[in-house]
Amino acid sequence: MKYAHARLLAAWEAAGDTSDAKVARRLGINPATAWRLRKGLSRPGSVTLPRIERAYGLTAADLMLDAQSDRMKPATNTEAELLDAVALAYADDPAAVEPLLFELADAVGRSAYMAAYPAATDYGRASAAAAADAARDELLAVLDLTPQEGATP
């Protein structure tokens, strides 16, 4: 099962919890834990899951999905439109876009490596995939594209 990181982030945003401190206060957790959850570096555990359900209405089932159901895809009609959006954003502000492109390339590379590495743990694979998803989301935000659930990238 894959952790639905994007759903948790969407619930935080919908509740107005835009900082790690706000999330930590609402859930009664350490701000460092909230940061790791936001970055996709950890998953909610048995203590945090019930708190998330009470605070945001997301059940454990809402946060655990099959491997393909929580993939994000840009809300564009074609690959050409996505590439055009990247090119325009880069031309407008290369200093903002370039580091995100490198971060995405690195995260996707790590995720692919972990997926193929036989000795990798499920947690390691999930963490790498979550980091790649977070990097995609960050780039999409800069490109001003809205992620769309339910499709593969």
Could you report the per-residue pLDDT of 14-36, keeping only the tens digit for each? 999 989 999 999 999 988 888 88
Q: Of 5, 43, 32, whose CA–CA distance to 124 is shortest?
A: 43
Pair 113, 134: CB distance under 8 Å: no
End-to-end CA distance of the chain: 18
CA pair distance 86, 140, nearest whole angstrom = 9
List, in sequence order, every residue forming a beta bridge with 2; answer none if it has no partner: 65
| Residue bearing the bigger pLDDT, 144 or 61 | 61
CA pair distance 100, 95, nearest whole angstrom = 9
CA pair distance 5, 133, nearest whole angstrom = 8
CA pair distance 62, 76, nearest whole angstrom = 26
Write down the pTM of the prediction. Answer: 0.44
Could you report the per-residue pLDDT of 48-85, keeping only the tens digit for each? 888 999 999 988 777 775 434 444 443 444 667 777 77
Question: How crowded is the C-beta side of 45, counted as CA atoms within 13 Å?
Answer: 8
Alpha-carbon dihedral 47, 61, 130, 126, rounded to 10 degrees: 80
Mean pLDDT (the chain) is 78
* pLDDT greater than 90 at residue 102: no
DSSP annotation of 15 reads T
